[in-house]
């Protein structure tokens, strides 16, 4: 028997099961790459990933209602992994969203051989690069995705800064790589990967520095301990300020808040669209899950110290994202700026603290479904082999492909927050919680920003329906059941959460309390 | 009678009809037309049943035919329907005008390559949303449909509209309304947070009124701006001439005839009972806006060169009268305002349709393209003149009664100081005469524009279909011009109930404040 067990360490294996399942399957995926013949790899990998995420989701469900630490020494929880309402809800959300995103990654009918190349680092447009583009796409993307998703699940349940950092790297590194694997526009894809990596590494450095500062202030990296120290510690408060600022920079970078958003439009545009969908939905959930936990569990006692600066960032994010979205001519960039603006709305939920945790999580789930479906549609509208991302090319899509145009219109109206869509339910909920927390100013800015943001969405709708198609208008590739399922699931969730949000509202209401708050 | 869920049916029938029509194949235009007409006809029948079963006595409950079905418990959002006299008039107007508007646009799409089923499905969806706003007795439910109706109207203007600026007009309409709606959303949420999570209108009205003060003022502003944009009141009106000018005639008739009334209806239904103190505090400002609107819009209307824009501007002037009637806080004025909403729907709806008949024949809405058109189109010209005269409130037509009541009520206003307002607004009648008569003169009389003789369409007077659909409006305008009593009977109990919130608390009246303080 090892030392830990002698010391009375109890491990909640069932509680850790979702993450264990995902990580084991990710390693299994690597073995599949080595063991299974190339022709059958895609089927095996997709099946493995889908089953894994479904099993992880089931494991999360079995954990429902837990409110404890996964590791306990003689009955006293140590906070490295915390299984509480928000953590479990977000894990479940991540599993479902990732499951949908995996289907989009597996789509092969729209581009022959899939959207991915095997090696990211080959010099773009060199002979080797051209050769690998003719080959069938890489299937390593599936284990990479599973690693990232496992990291995200760990990120939202991490109870101390150190675990959180490990999770942060775990979710980031595979994503950097995935961004560079686009089969078309290799150079932009490589640029995106490099940019994301460099800025991400920068953010990680900030995180570690901030963690050191908070350790110096609190004498612990445990979030609950930091919170107690916010009241009790006799250390200079400057450590706390610097630490909070640095940690916030890193997390806000992942969340794509202004002024840490610079990477978002470039990376969203350069990355293969299925990966963009994964990032826009899942990374947002993970990042805000982390923000919610850090600020609610770790920093609520020092709320006075960071409230103003976070408010300023939220305002800048809401307005900046909306205003820049107005000028965009590329659909992926437009969705990127819209994602930034949505990060601003979500920040309202972070600032409002405990009153708004459930509502923020509802928003994350609602937005995730909508945005995955939106990117899935983007990946279907094609000029020959390439995606037609320039907005002008979408003119008159309603004439040639009314079904796709109807779907995209519904998604745009949902993003604009019109009633009977999940966008309305989410905004209503979040703004109501914020008003309850007396954040009137933020809500008004949020509403103004929504109104500005409605304009670019509406312009897309105008293009779809009211403009005449060009003679060489892009075609909509009929999706295979893969991407078709993604679009259908996203739109169904968007409408269901708009018309009957009750069940999810009840769920987030029950799951809205962090352990140790 | 009361046990039938008539109000649910009023919303459900056009909604189901819209889905059914939308699923008809594009080639099958005839089936789409008839299905849509049948659905809207059924709505009209149900509306008539509601009108027959409605209790007009003064001591009847405020809302009748009430129904409620649970929807989203966490938000206190229920499918709650109820109807009062004011809403009844609006429902009758909507249910009556929609089939007429459909008939007016019956063949308009034959010449353009646009989907006929989609057009009629959009009209039905619009009808459903408009009826739902009149029938909702839950603040959030009202908000849902208040916003949702933008979508069908946006497509009607942008996709089926006329003129080079139709896209601009559609987007402007949508964004203006959405901005107003979002400001209202903040107020809706704040109301909900403040009262402990209640959205049920009846509960809110029965509860202790909200304390006067800053919060109530802001909530009033949030609601009022949304409604003022919808109505539209000066200075929130700039979208209407564009939208009205670009919309196809049938949609324009519904836009100005019905949808704009939702703004004034909602002021009566929500602003006054929920925020009585703020309503009184801001009344002088609203009255000033209204009078400016009456005069300004009339002047601008005189200068218009486009028929549809001209009619849109006349509506802005008329909405000034309605605003004046509501915020004068007297029984005559408020009843006048409600009647005005109804009669204006008839008169302006008729005017838009006749203008539609005219412009589709000529292919232009520019006044300068006409001249002496009455020579070959005597009946159309006659109806055009009649609609114009009704619109300027000629005695004997229904709008006269309402305008007279508004001015009388404003003149007798309890707050004093309204006499100059009433006198100024009366000038609006003279200006109305000027723009109507001049419009008629430039298009129908005078030297005949030789181009008209070369157009065979300009020699074809009203068809049987066109006559059949203007006839009920003409008859209604005449009947209610001579016998307005049924309308007054319907409106009065609801108006009295509403005004109780203003006069029922005399200690809040500015004049009485000094007395209670002694």
Strand (E) or helix (H) holding A9 = strand A9-11
Q: Is B130 a residue whose pLDDT tops 90?
A: yes
A401-427: average pLDDT: 91
pLDDT of residue B508: 40
Of B72, B155, B174, the CB nearest to A465: B155
A418 and B174 within 8 Å at the Cβ level: the answer is no
Cβ-based contacts of A440 with chain B (< 8 Å): 190
Cβ-based contacts of A460 with chain B (< 8 Å): none
Answer for the pair A147, A50: CB distance below 8 angstroms, yes or no: no
Paired with A69 in beta bridges are A82
B483-502: average pLDDT: 88
A435 and B189 within 8 Å at the Cβ level: the answer is yes
Answer for the pair A91, A365: CB distance below 8 angstroms, yes or no: no
Of A436, A451, A501, the CB nearest to B179: A451
Cα angle A188, A194, A199 (rounded to 5 degrees) comes to 125
Question: Around Cβ B338, how many Cβ atoms within 10 Å?
Answer: 32
Q: For B41-76, how does the pLDDT look when each residue is reduced to its tens digit (9 = 90+)?
A: 999 999 999 999 888 888 888 888 888 888 888 888
Q: Is B453 a residue whose pLDDT tops 90?
A: no
Pull the structure tokens for residue A481: 């059941």
Answer for the pair B276, B508: CB distance below 8 angstroms, yes or no: yes
Answer for the pair A479, A404: CB distance below 8 angstroms, yes or no: no
Q: Is A38 a residue whose pLDDT tops 80?
A: yes
- DSSP letter at B121 equals H
Evaluate whether residue B1 is within a structural domain: no
Q: For B325-365, how does the pLDDT look when each residue is reduced to its tens digit (9 = 90+)?
A: 898 888 888 999 999 999 999 999 899 888 888 888 888 88
Q: Is B512 a residue whose pLDDT tops 70?
A: no
pLDDT of residue A115: 78
Q: For A419-437, how does the pLDDT look when each residue is reduced to its tens digit (9 = 90+)?
A: 899 999 999 999 999 998 8
CA atoms B135, B137, B141, B142: torsion sign: positive
Listed residue (A169, A210, A29, A186) closest to A121, CA to CA: A186
Cβ-based contacts of B155 with chain A (< 8 Å): 465
CB-based burial label for B442 (10 Å; 0-12, 13-18, 19+):
middle
| Longest pairwise C-alpha distance within chain A | 75
* B113, B116, B120, B123 alpha-carbon torsion, rounded to 10°: -10
Cβ-based contacts of B159 with chain A (< 8 Å): 465-466
B170 and A466 within 8 Å at the Cβ level: the answer is yes
A506 and B159 within 8 Å at the Cβ level: the answer is no
The beta-strand segments (E) located in A400-468 are: none
Q: Using CA atoms, how far apart are residues B102 and B316, in angstroms rounded to an integer?
A: 24
Q: Using CA atoms, how far apart are residues B224 and B330, in angstroms rounded to an integer?
A: 20
Cβ-based contacts of A455 with chain B (< 8 Å): 171, 175
Of all residues in chain A, the percent with pLDDT exceeding 90 is: 58
A363-388: average pLDDT: 89
pLDDT of residue B91: 94
Cα of B154 to nearest chain A Cα, Å: 10
Listed residue (A30, A29, A193, A42) closest to A113, CA to CA: A42
Residues of A with CB under 8 A from a CB of B: 413, 416-420, 424, 427-428, 431-432, 435-436, 440, 443-444, 447-448, 450-451, 454-455, 458-459, 462, 465-466, 500-502, 505-506, 509
Paired with A68 in beta bridges are A83
Q: Using CA atoms, how far apart are residues A175 and A187, in angstroms rounded to an integer?
A: 17
CB-based burial label for A479 (10 Å; 0-12, 13-18, 19+):
buried
**Least confident piece of the model among A27-31, A452-456, B22-26:** B22-26
Altogether, the residues listed in chain B come to a count of 518
Is residue B162 helix, strand or coil?
Answer: coil
Listed residue (A139, A175, A136) closest to A48, CA to CA: A139
Q: Is A354 a residue whose pLDDT tops 70?
A: yes
pLDDT of residue B413: 67
A459 and B171 within 8 Å at the Cβ level: the answer is yes
What does R_g of chain B's alpha carbons equal in angstroms? 22
Cα of B438 to nearest chain A Cα, Å: 36
Across chain A, what does the average pLDDT equal? 89
**Least confident piece of the model among A259-273, A467-481, B352-366:** A467-481
Pull the structure tokens for residue B500: 């109780």
B186 at the A interface (CB within 8 A)? yes
Pull the structure tokens for residue A146: 């599973």
A420 and B148 within 8 Å at the Cβ level: the answer is yes
Across chain B, what does the average pLDDT equal? 86
Q: Using CA atoms, how far apart are residues A176 and A172, in angstroms rounded to an integer?
A: 6
Q: For B60-118, how does the pLDDT look when each residue is reduced to its tens digit (9 = 90+)?
A: 888 888 888 888 888 888 899 999 999 999 999 999 999 998 888 887 777 677 788 88
Q: Is B514 a residue whose pLDDT tops 70?
A: no
Q: Is A181 a residue whose pLDDT tops 60?
A: yes
A502 and B74 within 8 Å at the Cβ level: the answer is yes
Counting the structural domains of chain B, the total is 1
B353-381: average pLDDT: 84
pLDDT of residue A87: 93
For A467: left if phi > 0, alpha if psi spans -120 to 50, otherwise beta; the answer is beta
Q: Using CA atoms, how far apart are residues A97 and A369, in angstroms rounded to an integer?
A: 7
Q: Is A365 a residue whose pLDDT tops 90?
A: yes
Confidence bin at B1 (pLDDT 50/70/90)? very low
pLDDT of residue A331: 92
Chain B (197-256) residues lying within 8 Å, Cβ to Cβ, of chain A: none
Q: For A338-353, how does the pLDDT look when each residue is reduced to its tens digit (9 = 90+)?
A: 999 999 999 999 999 8
Answer for the pair B192, B198: CB distance below 8 angstroms, yes or no: yes
Answer for the pair A275, A335: CB distance below 8 angstroms, yes or no: no
Domain of residue B441, residue span: 6-517
Q: Residues A235-267, buried b or exposed e (16+ Cβ, 10 A)?
A: eeeebbbbbbbbbbbbbbbbbbbbebbebbbbb
Query: How far are the Cα atoms of A437, B30, B99, B250, B458 from residue B103, in angstroms, in the given order?
Result: 52, 12, 6, 9, 20
A458 and B175 within 8 Å at the Cβ level: the answer is yes
- DSSP letter at B456 equals G
pLDDT of residue A134: 78
Q: Is the ipTM of this complex over 0.90?
A: no
pLDDT of residue B236: 87
Q: Using CA atoms, how far apart are residues B166 and A120, in angstroms rounded to an integer?
A: 48
Cβ-based contacts of A437 with chain B (< 8 Å): none
Give the number of beta-carbon pairs within 8 Å between A and B.
79
Of all residues in chain A, the percent with pLDDT exceeding 70 is: 97
Of all residues in chain B, the percent with pLDDT exceeding 90 is: 29
pLDDT of residue A1: 47
A435 and B193 within 8 Å at the Cβ level: the answer is yes
A416 and B178 within 8 Å at the Cβ level: the answer is yes
Of A417, A436, A466, the CB nearest to B158: A466
Of B145, B178, B192, the CB nearest to A432: B192
Question: Around Cβ B468, how many Cβ atoms within 10 Å?
Answer: 12
Torsion angles phi and psi, residue A160, rounded to 5: -130, 165
Listed residue (B245, B269, B248, B46) closest to B138, CA to CA: B269
Pull the structure tokens for residue B286: 């609203």
Q: Is B412 a residue whose pLDDT tops 80?
A: no
B145 and A444 within 8 Å at the Cβ level: the answer is no
Output the 3-class SS for B358-379: HHHHHCCCEHHHCCCHHHCCHH
Of all residues in chain B, the percent with pLDDT exceeding 70 is: 95
| Longest pairwise C-alpha distance within chain B | 80
Name residue, tokens 């607004």.
B425
Cβ-based contacts of A502 with chain B (< 8 Å): 71-74
Is residue A120 helix, strand or coil?
Answer: coil
Q: Is A11 a residue whose pLDDT tops 80?
A: yes
Q: Residues A145-173, buried b or exposed e (16+ Cβ, 10 A)?
A: bbbbbbbbbbbbbbbbbebbbebbebbbb
Q: Is A109 a residue whose pLDDT tops 80?
A: no
Confidence bin at B505 (pLDDT 50/70/90)? very low
pLDDT of residue A517: 64
Pull the structure tokens for residue A265: 């439009």
Of A467 and A313, which is predicted with more confidence?
A: A313
């Amino acid at each position: 028997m090892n030392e830990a067990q002698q010391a009375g360490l109890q491990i909640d294996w069932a509680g850790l099961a979702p993450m264990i399942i995902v990580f084991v399957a990710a390693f299994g995926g690597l073995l599949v790459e080595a063991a299974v013949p190339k022709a059958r790899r895609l089927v095996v990998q997709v099946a493995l990933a889908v089953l894994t995420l479904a099993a992880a989701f089931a494991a999360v469900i079995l954990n429902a209602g837990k409110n404890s630490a996964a590791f306990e020494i003689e009955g006293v929880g140590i906070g490295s992994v915390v299984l509480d309402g928000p953590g479990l809800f977000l894990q479940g959300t991540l599993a479902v969203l990732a499951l949908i995103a995996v289907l989009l990654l597996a789509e092969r009918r729209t581009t022959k051989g899939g959207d991915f190349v095997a090696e990211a680092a080959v010099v773009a447009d060199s002979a080797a690069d051209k050769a690998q583009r003719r080959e069938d796409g890489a299937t390593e993307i599936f284990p990479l995705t599973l690693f990232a998703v496992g990291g995200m699940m760990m990120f939202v349940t991490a109870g101390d800064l150190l675990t959180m950092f490990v999770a942060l790297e775990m979710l980031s590194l595979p994503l950097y790589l995935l961004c560079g694997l686009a089969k078309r526009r290799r150079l932009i894809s490589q640029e995106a990967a490099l940019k994301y990596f460099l800025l991400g590494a920068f953010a990680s450095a900030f995180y570690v520095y901030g963690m050191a500062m908070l350790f110096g202030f609190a004498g612990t990296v445990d979030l609950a301990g930091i919170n107690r120290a916010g009241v009790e510690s006799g250390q200079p408060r400057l450590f706390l300020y610097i630490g909070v600022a640095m940690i916030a920079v890193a997390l806000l970078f992942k969340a794509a808040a202004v002024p840490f958003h610079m990477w978002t439009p470039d990376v969203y545009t350069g990355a293969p669209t299925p990966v963009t969908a994964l990032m826009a939905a899942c990374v947002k959930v993970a990042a805000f899950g982390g923000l919610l936990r850090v600020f609610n569990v770790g920093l609520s006692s020092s709320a006075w110290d960071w409230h103003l600066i976070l408010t300023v960032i939220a305002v800048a994010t809401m307005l900046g994202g909306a205003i820049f979205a107005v000028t965009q001519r590329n659909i992926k960039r437009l969705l990127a700026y819209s994602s930034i603006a949505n990060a601003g709305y979500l920040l309202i939920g972070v600032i409002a603290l405990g009153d708004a945790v459930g509502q923020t999580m509802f928003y994350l789930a609602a937005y995730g479904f909508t945005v995955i479906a939106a990117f899935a549609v983007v990946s279907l509208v094609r000029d020959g082999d390439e995606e037609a991302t320039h907005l002008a090319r979408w003119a008159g899509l309603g004439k040639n492909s009314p079904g796709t145009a109807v779907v995209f219109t519904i998604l745009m109206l949902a993003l604009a927050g019109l009633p009977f869509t999940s966008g309305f339910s989410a905004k209503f909920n979040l703004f109501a919680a914020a008003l309850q927390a007396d954040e009137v100013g933020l809500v008004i800015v949020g509403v103004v920003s929504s109104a500005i943001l409605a304009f670019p969405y509406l312009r897309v709708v105008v293009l779809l329906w009211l403009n005449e198609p060009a003679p060489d208008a892009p075609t909509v590739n009929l999706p295979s059941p893969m991407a078709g399922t993604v679009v259908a699931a996203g739109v169904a969730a968007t409408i269901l959460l708009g018309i009957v949000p009750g069940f999810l509202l009840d769920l987030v209401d029950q799951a809205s309390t962090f352990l140790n708050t | 009678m009361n046990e039938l869920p008539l109000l649910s049916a009023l919303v459900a029938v056009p909604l189901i009809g819209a889905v059914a029509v939308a699923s008809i194949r594009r080639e099958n235009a005839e089936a789409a037309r008839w299905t849509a007409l049948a659905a809207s006809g059924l709505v009209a029948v149900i509306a008539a049943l509601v009108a027959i079963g409605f209790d007009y006595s003064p001591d009847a409950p405020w809302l009748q035919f009430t129904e409620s079905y649970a929807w989203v418990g966490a938000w206190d959002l229920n499918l709650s329907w109820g109807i009062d006299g004011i809403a009844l008039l609006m429902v009758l107007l909507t249910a009556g005008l929609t089939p007429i508007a459909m008939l007016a646009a019956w063949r308009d799409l034959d010449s353009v390559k646009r989907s006929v089923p989609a057009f009629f499905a959009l009209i039905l969806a619009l009808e459903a949303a408009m009826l739902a706003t009149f029938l909702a007795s839950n603040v959030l439910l009202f908000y849902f449909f208040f916003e949702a109706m933008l979508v069908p109207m946006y497509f009607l203007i942008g996709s089926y509209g006329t003129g080079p600026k139709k896209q601009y007009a559609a987007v402007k309409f949508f964004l203006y309304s959405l901005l107003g709606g979002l400001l209202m959303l903040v107020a809706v949420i704040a109301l909900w947070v403040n009262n402990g999570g209640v959205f049920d209108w009846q509960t809110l009205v029965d509860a202790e009124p909200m304390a006067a003060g800053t919060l109530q003022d802001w909530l009033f502003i949030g609601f009022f701006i949304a409604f003022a944009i919808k109505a539209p009141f000066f200075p929130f009106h700039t979208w209407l001439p564009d939208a009205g000018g670009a919309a196809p005639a049938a949609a324009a008739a519904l836009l100005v005839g019905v949808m704009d009334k939702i703004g004034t209806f909602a002021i009566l239904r929500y602003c006054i009972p929920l925020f009585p103190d703020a309503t009184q505090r801001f009344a002088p400002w609203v009255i000033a806006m209204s009078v400016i609107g009456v005069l300004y819009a009339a002047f601008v209307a005189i200068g218009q060169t486009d028929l549809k824009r001209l009619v849109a501007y006349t509506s802005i002037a008329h909405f000034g009268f309605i605003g004046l009637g509501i915020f004068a806080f007297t029984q005559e004025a408020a009843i006048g305002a409600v009647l005005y909403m109804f009669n204006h729907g008839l008169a302006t709806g008729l005017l838009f349709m006749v203008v539609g008949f005219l412009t589709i024949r000529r292919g232009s809405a520019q006044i300068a393209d006409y001249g002496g058109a009455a020579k070959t189109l005597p009946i159309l010209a006659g109806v055009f003149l009649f609609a114009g005269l009704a619109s300027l409130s000629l005695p004997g037509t229904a709008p006269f009664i309402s305008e007279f009541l508004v001015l009388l009520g404003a003149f007798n206003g309890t707050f004093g100081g309204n006499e100059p307002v009433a006198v100024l607004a009366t000038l609006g009648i003279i200006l109305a005469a000027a723009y109507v008569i001049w419009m008629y003169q430039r298009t129908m009389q005078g030297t005949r524009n030789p181009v008209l003789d070369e157009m065979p369409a300009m020699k074809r007077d009203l068809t049987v279909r066109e006559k059949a659909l203007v006839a009920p409006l003409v008859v209604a305008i005449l009947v209610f011009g001579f016998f307005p009593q049924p309308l007054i009977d319907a409106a009065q109990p609801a108006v009295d109930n509403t005004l109780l919130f203003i006069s029922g608390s005399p200690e809040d009246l500015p004049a009485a404040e000094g007395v209670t303080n002694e």
